[in-house]
């Protein structure tokens, strides 16, 4: 059989091919835009407000744009966030983005080892990408004990539309920041090194407990019967771990700090200082009001509920006020309950996270360790003052940020690399600027040991780590074969260490920079329980590690270079020819949106269809 193709048919085929290639190019451009993300521009004014009085006490509260807690950063994977921070306070300021990995860019981390502080009356713009991350996080100030005065707020990183989320879309999402709170000025607390005071309250989104005569307001969430809601919970407190629960309602744990978890149903959830979780709550009870409660862990109180954070879950059309006692949680000293729950929080290995490929495709089932750090947290007295230490070294903050010294001085005169032990403790406590080498693209095992009489929590900037094991007593290498979970350990950036116990994590050091490893307990951190890991890649290619930003702040031993000499004026160019003036862009053009590339795809598809070309499969 001979098939004859007419010129007209060939012309239609050629047109179809060209339009198809055009449509494909549109799709490539659209996907490229989606990978790059949006540009989000924020302007923050950080100041002290003495009128908020969350618990009817005259005290300074740190607000952002007059809000306490601060505004939500609501973004999507790979978005680029620009935060122009105006310091309207009377003291220096730094902000960090807890759990945001700052890929190849520790210049934006906002801690004393990476950045010069923003001086009073000045501003500085942080610019960072939410590279390959999803989940719930939070931000807060990092110096001068300021976190005890507020300045914290929520961060959401939503999935891209091409990623399947492993649970149905909830009716609504709620951000819930919970933390212990001092009943006096954070400035007064820090004068005594934070050692002579304990918190007096636990706040819920900056509000005091329901029905307390000292509360200016209480937190309440409105729900409809039969609907499911996502609560993004963060412990933004200073000292205390909390147990969170909702009266007569179950919680389904689905995510923690950027990792989708194997879903488990809980009556209550322990949230340690600096940690973030997402739970789904279905409003499946009789329409009424129900208590939302957070109580402290490992705190010796005769009546733990007396200091509880209390809010309300309010059903639509509810006519019944909440009544009766607060729902009981586990015994605050029941370490078996806490350990069992911690070990049950594991990684969903089959679902996608920030990328379509399964989270479990990168795992620790068969890795070779390059380094092991054994880090013991303890309390010491140095020169008559209480200090918290790591391997008997209490961190001393130099006037020059480590990253700045690394870039311009090779660290000289600011810190000495690897001067302190990482496998054992010094015989006596000392002051020191503790900086250790991390092997670039090597696997690091960190074992945290807690010699204190309270729950501690540790955070590593720049990375997510695999939480492979918990235990009580002393750690030994045999724990790797008997107590570690290599199958589905959860990946996160903040982990708890129980009193007298240990916690082990694995981390792949593929992110060069200067990275802070700290206790999230504000008193411990403020009094020296931290160090820095220098992950060095000698390749100067900026694709490997970002160069200093153009707006870099200088301080300490590194001063700003002199401005360049003024250039000579250039001769005036000839007058330009008259050209038509284009219409001004709409105000929406300030933000590059995914709607733009979606419009391109739809437009290209419309052109293809409207051409009348038919492509028949035969």
Higher-pLDDT residue of 396 and 321 is 396
For residue 504, being part of any structural domain is answered with yes
pLDDT digits (tens, 9 = 90+) for 169-215: 999 999 999 999 999 999 999 988 766 788 999 999 999 999 899 99
Q: What is the mean pLDDT of residues 234-261?
A: 98
User: Which residue from 153, 175, 121, 150 is spatially nearest to 51, judged by alpha carbons?
Assistant: 150
Query: What is the average pLDDT score of the chain?
Result: 89
For residue 319, being part of any structural domain is answered with no
Total-model pTM: 0.88
Above 60 in pLDDT, residue 618? no
Q: What pLDDT score was predicted for residue 12?
A: 45
Q: What is the mean pLDDT of residues 571-579?
A: 62
Strand 172-181 relative to strand 201-204, pairing: antiparallel
Tell me which DSSP letter residue 115 carries: -
Of 24-28, 62-66, 513-517, least confident by mean pLDDT is: 24-28
CA 121, CA 131: separation in Å to the nearest integer? Answer: 31
For residue 221, being part of any structural domain is answered with no
User: Which residue from 475, 598, 592 is spatially nearest to 36, judged by alpha carbons?
Assistant: 592
**DSSP codes, 210-267:** TT-TT-S---EEEE-TT-EEEEEEEE--SS--EEEEETTB-EEEEEETTEEEEEEEES
Higher-pLDDT residue of 16 and 53 is 53
Helix/strand/coil (H, E, C) string of 505-556? Answer: EEEECCCCEEEEEEECCHHHHHCCCEEEEEECCCCCCCCCCCCCCCCCCCEC
Above 80 in pLDDT, residue 31? no
Q: What is the mean pLDDT of residues 562-577?
A: 71
C-beta separation of 94 from 141 below 8 A: yes
Residue 22: phi and psi, rounded to 5, are -65, -45
Higher-pLDDT residue of 125 and 216 is 125
Q: What is the mean pLDDT of residues 256-276?
A: 98
Above 60 in pLDDT, residue 363? yes
pLDDT digits (tens, 9 = 90+) for 483-522: 999 999 999 999 999 999 999 999 999 999 999 999 999 9
pLDDT digits (tens, 9 = 90+) for 431-466: 999 999 999 999 999 999 999 999 999 999 999 999
Q: What is the mean pLDDT of residues 248-275?
A: 98
pLDDT digits (tens, 9 = 90+) for 69-88: 999 999 999 999 999 999 99
For residue 382, being part of any structural domain is answered with yes
Above 50 in pLDDT, residue 90? yes
Task: Mark which of 493, 519, 535 sits at the end of a domain.
Answer: 535
Helix 594-610 vs helix 7-36: crossing angle, to nearest 10:
170
- Reported as a pLDDT band with limits 50, 70 and 90, residue 340 is very high
Query: Considering its fold, how many domains does the chain have in total?
Result: 2
C-beta separation of 493 from 460 below 8 A: yes
CA torsion, ordered 575, 577, 583, 587, to nearest 10 deg: -30
Q: What pLDDT score was predicted for residue 26?
A: 43
**DSSP codes, 570-584:** PPPPPPPPP-PPPPP
Strands (DSSP E) contained in 31-87 are: 39-49, 61-64, 73-76, 80-87
Q: What is the mean pLDDT of residues 388-393?
A: 98
For residue 303, being part of any structural domain is answered with no
CA 529, CA 511: separation in Å to the nearest integer? Answer: 23
Q: What pLDDT score was predicted for residue 304?
A: 67
Q: What pLDDT score was predicted for residue 447?
A: 98
Q: What is the mean pLDDT of residues 319-335?
A: 93
- Reported as a pLDDT band with limits 50, 70 and 90, residue 36 is confident
User: Which region holds residue 317: left if phi is over 0, alpha if psi is between -120 and 50, else beta?
Assistant: left
* Residues of the domain holding 371: 359-535
Of these ranges, 14-28, 231-245, 541-555, the one predicted with the greatest mean pLDDT is 231-245
pLDDT digits (tens, 9 = 90+) for 394-417: 999 999 999 999 999 999 999 999
Q: What pLDDT score was predicted for residue 601?
A: 39
Residue 28: phi and psi, rounded to 5, are -60, -45
Q: What pLDDT score was predicted for residue 541?
A: 81
Above 50 in pLDDT, residue 5? no
For residue 69, being part of any structural domain is answered with no
Tell me which DSSP letter residue 118 carries: B
418 C-beta neighbours (distance < 10 Å), count: 11
Q: What pLDDT score was predicted for residue 302?
A: 74
CA 496, CA 503: separation in Å to the nearest integer? Answer: 7
User: Which residue from 79, 85, 209 is spatially nearest to 139, judged by alpha carbons?
Assistant: 85
Q: What pLDDT score was predicted for residue 168?
A: 97
Q: What is the mean pLDDT of residues 7-36?
A: 46
CA 561, CA 600: separation in Å to the nearest integer? Answer: 45
Above 80 in pLDDT, residue 475? yes
- Reported as a pLDDT band with limits 50, 70 and 90, residue 607 is very low
For residue 505, being part of any structural domain is answered with yes
Task: Mark which of 514, 535, 556 sits at the end of a domain.
Answer: 535
CATH of the domain at 455: 2.60.40.420
**Vertex 322: Cα angle to 246 and 55 (nearest 5):** 80
Task: Mark which of 535, 554, 587 sits at the end of a domain.
Answer: 535
Q: Which helix (H) or strand (E) holds 502?
A: strand 501-508
Above 50 in pLDDT, residue 49? yes
- Reported as a pLDDT band with limits 50, 70 and 90, residue 268 is very high
Q: What is the largest CA-CA distance in the chain?
A: 101
Identify the residue whose tokens are 């009356």. Answer: 121
Q: b vs e for 251-272, b when ≥16 Cβ sit within 10 Å of the residue's Cβ?
A: bbbbbbbbbbbbeeebebbbbb
For a pLDDT cut of 70, what percent of the chain falls above it?
A: 86
Q: What pLDDT score was predicted for residue 565?
A: 81
C-beta separation of 37 from 80 below 8 A: yes
Q: What pLDDT score was predicted for residue 592?
A: 40
- Reported as a pLDDT band with limits 50, 70 and 90, residue 44 is very high
Q: What pLDDT score was predicted for residue 22?
A: 43
For residue 461, being part of any structural domain is answered with yes
């Amino acid at each position: 059989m001979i098939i004859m193709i007419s010129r007209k048919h060939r012309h239609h085929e050629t047109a179809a091919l060209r339009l198809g290639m055009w449509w494909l190019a549109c799709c490539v451009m659209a996907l490229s835009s989606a990978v790059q993300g949006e540009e989000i521009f924020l302007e923050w004014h950080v100041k002290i407000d003495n009128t908020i009085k969350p618990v009817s006490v005259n005290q300074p509260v740190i607000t952002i744009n007059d809000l306490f807690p601060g505004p939500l950063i609501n973004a999507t994977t790979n978005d680029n966030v620009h935060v122009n921070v105006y310091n309207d306070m009377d003291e220096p300021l730094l902000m960090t983005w807890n759990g945001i990995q700052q890929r190849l860019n520790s210049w934006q981390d906002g801690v004393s080892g990476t950045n010069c502080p923003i001086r009073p009356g000045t501003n500085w713009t942080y610019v960072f990408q939410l590279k390959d991350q999803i989940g719930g996080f939070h931000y807060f100030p990092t110096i001068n004990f300021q976190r005890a005065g507020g300045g914290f707020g929520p961060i959401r990183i939503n999935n891209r539309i091409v990623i399947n989320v492993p649970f149905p879309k909830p009716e609504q999402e709620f951000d819930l920041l919970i933390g212990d709170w001092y009943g006096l000025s954070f400035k007064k607390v820090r004068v005594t090194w934070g050692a002579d005071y304990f918190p007096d309250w636990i706040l819920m989104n900056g509000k005091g407990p329901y029905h307390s005569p000292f509360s200016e307001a209480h937190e309440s969430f409105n729900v409809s019967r039969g609907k499911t809601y996502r609560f993004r919970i963060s412990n933004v407190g200073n000292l205390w771990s909390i147990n969170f629960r909702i009266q007569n309602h179950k919680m389904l744990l689905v995510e923690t700090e950027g990792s989708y978890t194997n879903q488990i149903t809980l009556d209550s959830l322990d949230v340690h200082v600096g940690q973030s979780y997402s739970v789904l709550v279905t409003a499946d009870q009789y329409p009424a009001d129900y208590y939302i409660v957070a109580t402290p862990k490992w705190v010796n109180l005769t009546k733990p509920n007396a200091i509880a954070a209390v809010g309300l879950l309010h059903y639509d059309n509810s006519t019944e006020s909440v009544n009766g006692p607060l729902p009981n949680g586990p015994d605050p000293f029941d370490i078996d309950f806490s350990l069992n729950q911690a070990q049950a929080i594991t990684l969903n290995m089959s679902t996608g996270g920030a990328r379509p490929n399964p989270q479990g495709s990168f795992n620790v089932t068969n890795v070779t360790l390059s380094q092991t750090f054994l880090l013991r947290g303890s309390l010491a007295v140095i020169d008559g003052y209480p200090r918290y230490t790591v391997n008997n070294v209490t961190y001393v903050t130099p006037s020059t940020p480590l990253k700045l010294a690394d870039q311009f001085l090779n660290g000289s005169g600011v810190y000495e690399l690897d001067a302190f032990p990482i496998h054992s403790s010094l015989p006596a406590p000392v002051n020191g600027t503790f900086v250790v080498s991390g092997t670039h693209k090597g696997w690091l095992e960190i074992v945290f040991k807690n010699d204190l009489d309270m729950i501690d929590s540790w955070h590593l900037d720049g990375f997510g780590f695999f939480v492979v094991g918990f235990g009580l007593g002393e750690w030994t290498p045999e724990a790797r074969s008997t107590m570690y979970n290599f199958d589905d350990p959860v990946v996160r950036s903040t982990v708890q260490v129980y009193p007298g116990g240990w916690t082990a994590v694995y981390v792949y050091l593929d992110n060069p920079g200067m990275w802070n490893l700290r206790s999230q307990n504000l008193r411990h951190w403020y009094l020296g329980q931290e160090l820095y890991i220098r992950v060095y890649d000698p390749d100067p290619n900026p694709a490997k590690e970002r160069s200093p930003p153009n707006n870099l702040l200088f301080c300490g031993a590194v001063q700003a270079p002199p401005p360049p000499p003024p250039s000579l004026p250039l001769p005036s160019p000839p007058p330009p020819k008259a050209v038509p003036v284009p219409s001004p862009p709409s105000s929406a053009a300030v933000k590059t949106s995914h709607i733009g590339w979606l419009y391109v795809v739809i437009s290209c598809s419309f052109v293809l269809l409207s051409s009348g070309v038919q492509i028949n499969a035969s």
